[in-house]
Amino acid sequence: MRRDFAEKKVKRWRHLVVAVGMVPALLIYLGLVMQIADYVTDIHIILDFLFYALAGLAWIPLAGKVVGWLAAHESR
């Protein structure tokens, strides 16, 4: 009984860490992308499109790994 309670408490902390950590990480990523965009954009329209498409999708695999980690520990 006591062990189940401790495991549930750890799961709550994981959720909190992911929720609190993901937002600042994405904000930092957005800041970096905006800084890089100042140098890359307005050279050619195709380069603009490719940059924004790549920057818009680049964060998804890392976020997917974090969510996958959370889900893997949640299922135990």
Each residue's pLDDT tens digit, 12-27: 777 788 888 888 999 9
Query: What is the domain partition of the chain in residue ranges?
Result: 2-74
Interval 27-42 mean pLDDT: 92
Residue-wise pLDDT tens digits, 63-76: 888 888 888 776 66
Q: Tell me the residue length of the chain.
A: 76
Kindly tell me the sign of the dihedral angle through the C-alpha atoms of 4, 5, 10, 16.
Answer: positive
- Which pTM does this prediction carry? 0.70
